[in-house]
Every structure is written in structure tokens, then in C-alpha cells.
Amino acid sequence: MSVSLLLQSVLSGLTNGFVYGLVGLGLAAIFRGTRIINAMQGDFALLGGITAALLLERLGWPMALAFACAVAVGGIAGWLMELLLIRPLRRRGGSEDSYLLLTLGVAFAVSAFVLYAVGRDSHSLPGLGGEGIVVIGDASIRTHAVWLIAISLATMAGLRLFFAKTALGLSMLAAALDAEGALTTGINVPLMRTLTFALGGLVGGLAGILVGPLVTVYFDMGLLLTLKGFAAAILGGLANPMGAIAGGVTLGLLESLAIVTVSSGYKDVIAMVILIVIMIVMPNGLLGRRLRKGG
């Protein structure tokens, strides 16, 4: 294998990896805040991506506005989902598998709705930096990919600051770690949960507009993204949202490596096998922090 092929492979692995990491970040943040694994995290990306596509294609909105709106739609979807679906289930005493079935149901619903409303075609999104490329040695990546990596890192740093320094972030963290204690200090714990989902939705929507220009947006992209994001989250340690980025990059690089050594058709199979192996062998992530098995 030539160096340039390897380099190209690393670059594309990094790019995909940061997308997985972003999805994983949202997943882990929601898990930490509510102990629910959101099986429709990838569909937040779908919602964000398709919103951007429609606003750009059909309404001709300027790119910045469309993208901002798309991310907002993700956030609103998360907010609504918690308020209208998760809370009622909570009230009726949902068990772990019922939350899973619920989020799975929403995943299918979003996918089916997009299918019905927009059809099976894939929609492409314009990249940040247009069609520009950045050349590194013998390999190249799109300028958009560089933006993607930068934005992902900025999001991670931003969220870290948010949870560590802002009043709202600290309240959300408090509500996540000790709901009863937080209640006694006057924190509106149910609201914190809703906001957690909204945050997950925002991050998911962001992932959507970032990945859209690279792989196009289509109605059943959600499930695979969710699974890969989940793998990223586990690798990083489910209770540690920031670790998901590192986990995602690891997964992306492994996937790329697999593509050049095996075959591109098996890309997803390999990612899925990696996911299963991770769950069995290191459910606490690369750093091996103590966590209840099975989340």
C-alpha cells in the first residue's frame, strides 16, 4: 500500500471519524443526562440535513441561514421528543426496553416521514468552502472536511466549557448526576432533562449539515449513523461525552483502514463487527472507567 493511499485513507478516516464522534457526543450527552440511549440520534442528523437541503433547494435561502435553521430544527425535535414522548412514558413507568422501543419507533417514524414527504432521492448539500480542496502531500481533502474537523473540536470544547462554567450547564450536570439532590437545590430537573435532549438534537442536527455535503442526505441514513455514533460513544466511555470524539476518530480510522485492506462494500460490516466487539470486550471504553454493564 502506497504512502499516498495510506495518507488519503487516514484523512478520510479522520473526517468520517469526527462525524461519528459528533453523533456519539450527542448520544453520550443524552445518556449522561437521562440514562436513555437515544436510538434515533442519527435521525437528528437526517432532520438537520434534510431541512438544510429543502431550505436551500426549494426556498433558496442563503447557506448560513439554512444551516443555522437546520441545527435549530434538530434542537427543536429533541425538545419536542422529550416533552411529548419521553415524559409520558416516564410517567407511566417505562422500563429500559420500552425507552429503547420508543426511540427506535421515533427513528423509524422520522425516516418514514422523510421518505413519504421527500422521497427516496438523495439530496446534496453545499460544503463550507465550496468545492475547494486542501492538499497534504500526495493526498487531499475537501476544505469542507477541514471545517468539519474544526467545528467538531470547537463544539467539544464549547460543550466542555458549557458544562463546567455556565450556570445552566452546571445545573444540567447536577440534575444528571444526582436528580434528587438537584431538586432540593431548586433545579428544575425535568426541564434539565428536556434541555439535554434539545442539546443532543442540536449536536445531531449539526452533524447532519456537516456530513451532508460529504455523503448526501437520504431517508435511511439515520440508523447506521446512530450505530456508528454509539460505537464512538462506547469507545470514549459512555459517561464521558467528550470521549466520544476520540472514540469516533478511532472508529473512522479503523473503518478507513478496513476499506483499503478488505473492500469498500464491507465497510459497514466491519464497523458493525467493531461495534459488537467493543461492546463485549470493552464496554467501559478505551479508558476502562467503571460502569454498569450494558449501560
Partner 1 sequence: MSPVRHAIVWGLAFALWAALPFAATRHVVDLLVFAGLYTIAGLGVAFLLGQCGIVSLAQSVFYGIGAYCAAWFCVQKGLPSPVGMAAGIVLSTSIAALVGWPILRLSGYFLALATLALGIIGQVLFLEWDGITGGTLGIGGIPRIAPFGFAFDTPLRFYFLVWPIALLLLALHHNLLHSRNGLALRAMRDSPEAAAVLGVDIHRLKVQMFVLSAALGSLAGGLFAHYVTFVSVDSFAIDRSISFLLLAVLGGVYTVWGPALGALFITILPQWLSRLGDIHAFVFAAALIAAVILLPEGFGGAIRNWWRARAAK
Q: Is residue 266 close enough to count as binding partner 1 by CB under 8 A?
A: yes
Burial class (CB in 10 A: 0-12, 13-18, 19+), 128: buried
> Does residue number 268 form part of the binding site for partner 1 (CB under 8 A)?
yes
286 binding partner 1? (CB under 8 A): no
Task: Please list every residue from 102 through 121 that binds partner 1, using CB under 8 A.
Answer: 102, 104-106, 108-109, 111-113, 115-116
User: Cβ contacts of residue 260 below 8 Å, gap of 6+?
Assistant: 1, 5, 6, 9
Q: Site mask, partner 1, residues 229-258, x = CB under 8 A?
A: -x----------------------------
Give the nearest distance from C-beta 91 to partner 1 in angstroms: 9
Tell me which stretch binds partner 1 (CB under 8 A): 3-11, 51-59, 101-109, 244-252.
101-109
Q: Which residue of 39, 210, 214, 239 would you call a contact of partner 1, by CB under 8 A?
A: 39
- Told to check if 265 binds partner 1 by CB under 8 A, we report yes
- Applying CB under 8 A, among 253, 260, 272, 282 the residue interacting with partner 1 is 272
Q: Binding to partner 1 by residue 280, rule CB under 8 A?
A: yes
Per CB under 8 A, 177 contacts partner 1? no
Part in contact with partner 1 (CB under 8 A); list of ranges 2-10, 99-107, 159-167, 177-185: 99-107
Give yes or no for residue 3 binding partner 1 (CB under 8 A): no
- Select 96 or 138, whichever has its Cβ closest to partner 1: 96
Q: Which cell is 111 given?
A: 425516516
Interface with partner 1 in residues 64-93 (CB under 8 A): 85, 88-89, 92
Give residues in contact with partner 1 (CB under 8 A): 37, 39, 85, 88-89, 92, 94-98, 100-102, 104-106, 108-109, 111-113, 115-116, 223-224, 227, 230, 265-266, 268-269, 272-273, 275-276, 279-280, 283, 293-295
